[in-house]
Copies of this chain bind each other. A is one copy, B any other.
Amino acid sequence: MTYPFISGGVTAARGFTAAGVHCGIRKNRTKRDLALIVSDRPATAAAVYTKNLVKGAPLLVTKRHLSDGTARAVICNSGIANTCAFDGEEKAETMCAMTAEALGITANDVIVASTGVIGPSLPLEPVRAGLPALASSLSREGGADAAEAIMTTDTVKKEFAVSFELGGIACVLGGIAKGSGMIAPNMATMLCFLTTDAAIAAPLLRKALAETAEDTFNMLSVDGDTSTNDTVALMANGAAGNAPVTEENEDYHTFLAALRQVSTAIVRALAADGEGATRLLECRVAGAKSDADARLAAKAVIGSALFKSAMFGADANWGRVLCALGYSGAELDVRGVSVAFRSPAGHLAVCEGGAGIPFSEDTAKAVLSEKEITVEISLSDGNASAVAWGCDLTYDYVKINGDYRT
């Protein structure tokens, strides 16, 4: 089932407004650096966080605030990550308190996030100065400004939303995300804010988000570096008026499918906009012994620097795919591996039974010169499958990261 995509992103769902302004954490005055998302009524909320042992201070504060399963607002700055700074938690708590005061809600209902350079202490004066303008510009059309305000090295905004029905009632789920480098979410991660007007109990919201993250955010790698600040937060405010989802019934599965669809769209957009990327890479593994084996195999191929470089060069170097499968940790029989490349320009089989087969280099060049490339891997070990997403490794990745901090 595929639901129709609609416009509006994080403010597509009823009862949500958002805004984004430049407050001064970043020197570049043309770049918005502070985002706010608000529900006009209490919402159930859930989040998943990076498994990196080094955690940004905002994550620790958000985790405490979400322990009751409810939230009303998200405040997020870009420019400085508020991580590995001696005063991080205090600053993150103060940021929530200032936001709560501006909105007339309690600090415990504020989700806080930061993204940018790790290390420096976060200046709060720009946040304090920017909050009045931010709060007064909240609107149903503000999602795009919020999406821009959370960007770092991203070159495009990531906003998606779908509409679906629960018990005959039209509901919406949408969100915004940022991320371009330091991307290899582990277990449950990403800087992504999702909203829905569906009514759903907090425990089920948590379950749906964790399950979705496993197949979407956790199957993404731009550079293998798992960030310290990855967070996916989801607020459900019930403004749609559906009968609240309180058990794993048909409505729950409809909700899960909508969440998965938006999350997959976001992950593909993040991969396509990976730092320096010129191509979106999708790796589809079928015939694996188990889900875990399929995931390991797909992620190893997507994460291989050699495979990524070959894709940048539109070079059908399938030996690097076999090599990555071999060190992936997945249990597999090499003699049963087939590999093909697919893109809008065509389909190209390059390996069968673990050995190369003849192919046209001209066709290969055509297939691999597209913006979106799928590498299809067929194993002979079972029936499990997985999909992972990434991007090519380019000169610009090195350029962007050789001098990001200064």
Binding site for B on A (CB under 8 A): 51-55, 81, 83-86, 117-120, 181-182, 184, 186, 223-228, 303-306, 309-310, 312-313, 315-320, 322-327, 332, 334, 351, 353-356, 361, 393-395, 397-406
Residue of B nearest to A319 (CB): B118
Residue of B nearest to A361 (CB): B406
User: Do A118 and B323 touch across chains, with their CB atoms under 8 A apart?
Assistant: yes
Known: A306-B223, A310-B402, A322-B228. A54 touches B334 (CB 8 A): yes
User: Do A119 and B305 touch across chains, with their CB atoms under 8 A apart?
Assistant: no
Known: A309-B402, A315-B406, A397-B309. A54 touches B326 (CB 8 A): yes
User: Do B118 and A401 touch across chains, with their CB atoms under 8 A apart?
Assistant: no
Other-chain contact of A317, B318, B351, B395, B405 (Cβ < 8 Å): B405
User: Do A225 and B324 touch across chains, with their CB atoms under 8 A apart?
Assistant: yes
A353 to B332, CA, bound (A): 44
User: Do B404 and A393 touch across chains, with their CB atoms under 8 A apart?
Assistant: no
Known: A81-B319, A319-B118. A398 touches B393 (CB 8 A): yes
Residue of B nearest to A52 (CB): B326
The winner among A119, A182, A393 for most chain B CB atoms within 10 A is A119
Residues on B with C-beta less than 8 A from A117 are 317, 319
User: Do A306 and B226 touch across chains, with their CB atoms under 8 A apart?
Assistant: no
User: Do A84 and B401 touch across chains, with their CB atoms under 8 A apart?
Assistant: no
CB distance from A254 to the nearest CB of B (A): 35
Other-chain contact of A402, B55, B225, B313, B401 (Cβ < 8 Å): B313
User: Do A223 and B398 touch across chains, with their CB atoms under 8 A apart?
Assistant: no
CB distance from A81 to the nearest CB of B (A): 7
Known: A361-B406, A398-B309. A355 touches B323 (CB 8 A): no
User: Do A317 and B404 touch across chains, with their CB atoms under 8 A apart?
Assistant: yes
Residues on B with C-beta less than 8 A from A353 are 86
Residues on B with C-beta less than 8 A from A332 are 53
Known: A318-B119, A401-B313. A356 touches B85 (CB 8 A): yes
A81 to B356, CA, bound (A): 13
Top 7 nearest A-B pairs (CB, nearest first) are: A118-B319, A313-B402, A54-B326, A309-B401, A52-B326, A226-B327, A119-B356
